[in-house]
A and B are shown apart, each in its own frame.
Chain A
Amino acid sequence: QVQLVQSGAEVKKPGASVKVSCKASGYTFTGYYMHWVRQAPGQGLEWMGRINPNSGGTNYAQKFQGRVTMTRDTSISTAYMELSRLRSDDTAVYYCARERVAVASHTPYFDYWGQGTLVTVSS
C-alpha cells in the first residue's frame, strides 16, 4: 500500500534552515510528482511547490522562490523540502503529497499525503 512517511518535528531559531523528508513506499517513486503543502496553526492549506522525482525538475510558488529547495534521492525513494531564512510565520505543519492525474480529464490531484511535520520557529 502507498505510504508517505515524514520526518519528525523540528524546532528552529529565526534565520535558520530546516529540511523535512518524505519517504515513499508502495509505488514507483519516480512515476509521480511530489508536492509540499503547509498549514500554519489554525489556518488553511498553502501550496509550496512540487518536484518531479524522475527528472528532479521543480516548480515553486512565487511566495517561496529563493527560500525553498525541493530535492529527491531516488535510491531511497525520499523527497526533501528545505526552507531557509526561517521566520516565526513559517511555524506550520508541512505535508508532502503525491500527485496523480485523472486519465480521462487529465486533472491533477493529491491522492496520498504524509502525516505532516510540525516545524516551530522560535527564538
Chain B
Amino acid sequence: DIQMTQSPSSLSASVGDRVTITCRASQSISSYLNWYQQKPGKAPKLLIYAASSLQSGVPSRFSGSGSGTDFTLTISSLQPEDFATYYCQQSYSTLLFTFGPGTKVDIK
C-alpha cells in the first residue's frame, strides 16, 4: 500500500504569511496527488488536483507543485479564511485512495 506523510502536522502563522505544506508518498505516484481543505464541521473542499492544477473557484494564492514522491502546497499570502486543516491524497492506486494525516494551520 502507498503511505502518505505530511509535514508539519501543525503550524501557526499570521495573516499575510507565506505557508508551505509538504506531502510525501512512500513510492512514486507521478502527479496523482490532490489537496483538500477542511474546516471544522464541514466536508473537505478540493483545492488542487493532479499536483498543480487549481480547482475552479479556488483563489490563486493556492498553488501546488511536485511529482514522484515529494509534493508541496503553498499559500502565498495567508488569509483569515485559510485557517483550516489541509490533506493530501494520492489517487495513483485506484484500489486505495490514501489520504495524508493532515496539517492544521492556525492563527499565530
Contacts and interface: CB of A to CB of B under 8 A. Distances in A.
B44 A105 contact: no
Q: Interface of chain A, helix or strand or loop or mixed?
A: strand
Contacts, number: 68
Q: Interface of chain B, helix or strand or loop or mixed?
A: loop
Interface string B81-108: 0000001010100111111111000000
B99 A102 contact: no
A59 B93 CA distance: 11
A102 B56 CA distance: 13
Contacts of A62: 96
Given A44-B99, A107-B31, A111-B46, 4 more contacts: A44-B102, A59-B95, A107-B33, A110-B34
Interface of A: 35, 37, 44-47, 50, 59, 61-62, 95, 97, 102, 104-105, 107-111, 113-116
